[in-house]
Amino acid sequence: MRIRPALVLFAATLTGFGGVVTFASGAAAAVEDDGADCPVSVPASWPSTAKLPDPFKKIDGTRITAKSDWRCRREEIKKLAERTVYGSKPAKPASVTGTVSNTGITVNVSENGRSASFSAGVQLPSGSGPFPAVVVVGGFGADTATIKASGAAVITYDPLAVGKEGTPRNNKQGAFYSIYGASSSTGLLAAWAWGVSRIIDVVEQSGGGVLKADALGVTGCSRYGKSAFAIGALDQRIALTMPIESGTAGVPILRGIPGESGSQPLSNAYGEQPWFGDAFSAYTGNPASLPVDTHELVALVAPRGLFVMENPHIDWLGARSGSVAALAGAEVYQALGAGENISYWSDVQDGTHCASRPEWRTPLQQNIQKFLLKTGSAAGTFRISAKKAGNLAEWRDWSTPVLTDGPGSTPPTTPTTTPTTPPPGGTCTASASVNQWTGGFVTTVRVTAGTAAITGWTVTAALPVGAAITSAWNAGRSGDTGTVRFTNAGFNGALSPGQSVEFGYQGTGTGTGTTTTCA
Q: Where are the beta strands (DSSP E) in 89-237?
A: 95-100, 104-111, 114-123, 131-137, 153-157, 211-221
Sign for the pseudo-dihedral over CA of 488, 491, 495, 501? negative
Measured distance CA(72)–CA(58) in Å, rounded: 9
Sign for the pseudo-dihedral over CA of 386, 389, 394, 396? negative
Residue 149: closest CA among 306, 362, 371? 362
Q: Tell me how many helices (H) and strands (E) the chain has.
A: 9, 21
DSSP-based three-state secondary structure for 278: helix
Strands 342-345 and 238-244, by their bridges, are unpaired
For the chain, percent helix, then strand, then coil, each to nearest 5? 25, 25, 45
Measured distance CA(173)–CA(251) in Å, rounded: 26
User: Which letter, b or e, does each residue of 183-202 get, where b requires 16 or more Cβ atoms within 10 Å of its Cβ?
Assistant: ebbbbbbbbbbbbbbbbbbb
Measured distance CA(419)–CA(498) in Å, rounded: 16
**Of 295, 323, 353, 385, catalytic:** 353
Measured distance CA(327)–CA(333) in Å, rounded: 10
Sequence-separated (6 or more) residues with CB below 8 Å from residue 399: none
**Of 222, 263, 346, 433, catalytic:** 222
Measured distance CA(333)–CA(121) in Å, rounded: 33
CB atoms within 10 A of CB 296: 28
DSSP summary character for residue 39? -
Sign for the pseudo-dihedral over CA of 122, 128, 130, 131? negative
Sequence-separated (6 or more) residues with CB below 8 Å from residue 424: none
Whole-Å CA distances, 408 to 8, 335, 384, 402: 16, 18, 37, 17
Measured distance CA(336)–CA(404) in Å, rounded: 9
353 in catalytic set: yes
Q: Which residues are catalytic?
A: 222, 353
